[in-house]
Amino acid sequence: MLTLYQFPISHYCEKARWALDYKGLNHNIINLLPGEHVKKIKAIAPNSEVPVLQQDQEIIQGSGNIISWLDERYPATPLTPVDLESKTQAFEWEHYADENIGPHIRLYFYHYLLEEPALTVPMLTQGQPFHKRLLFRVIYPKVRSIMRQHMKINERTARISLKILERAINKLHAHYAQQDFLVGDQFSRADLAAASLLAPLVEPGKYGITWPTHYPEELQQTINNFRDRLDWVDRLYRLYR
> Applying CB under 6 A, does 63 fall inside the site for ligand GSH?
yes
Amino acid identity of residue 140, one-letter, is: Y
> Applying CB under 6 A, does 10 fall inside the site for ligand GSH?
yes
Number of residues this chain uses to bind ligand GSH (CB under 6 A): 12
Scanning residues 65 to 124, which ones bind ligand GSH (CB under 6 A)? 98
SS3 assignment, position 92: helix
| Closest distance of CB 150 from ligand GSH, Å | 8
- Taking alpha carbons only, the member of 78, 59, 32, 76 closest to residue 192 is 78
DSSP readout, 157-214? HHHHHHHHHHHHHHHHHHHHHH-SSSSTTS--HHHHHHHHHHGGGT--GGG-SPPPS-
Residue 82 carries which DSSP code? S
| Closest distance of CB 197 from ligand GSH, Å | 9
Considering beta carbons, is residue 40 or 235 the nearer one to ligand GSH? 40
- Taking alpha carbons only, the member of 171, 183, 169 closest to residue 79 is 183
Considering beta carbons, is residue 119 or 124 the nearer one to ligand GSH? 124
Among 50, 114, 190, 195, binds ligand GSH (CB under 6 A): 50
| Closest distance of CB 10 from ligand GSH, Å | 4
* β-sheet with 58-61: strand ranges across: 27-31, 2-6, 52-55, 58-61
Give the residue nearest to ligand GSH (CB).
48
> Applying CB under 6 A, does 8 fall inside the site for ligand GSH?
no
CA distances from residue 60 to 53, 89, 132 in whole angstroms, order as listed: 5, 23, 27
Residue 7 carries which DSSP code? -
> Applying CB under 6 A, does 54 fall inside the site for ligand GSH?
no
Considering beta carbons, is residue 17 or 23 the nearer one to ligand GSH? 17
Among 2, 22, 51, 53, binds ligand GSH (CB under 6 A): 51
- Taking alpha carbons only, the member of 6, 36, 32 closest to residue 20 is 6
> Applying CB under 6 A, does 49 fall inside the site for ligand GSH?
yes
| Closest distance of CB 147 from ligand GSH, Å | 9
| Closest distance of CB 87 from ligand GSH, Å | 18
Among 4, 18, 64, 196, binds ligand GSH (CB under 6 A): 64
Cα Rg of the chain (Å, integer): 18
Binding site for ligand GSH (CB under 6 A): 7, 10, 12, 38, 48-51, 62-64, 98
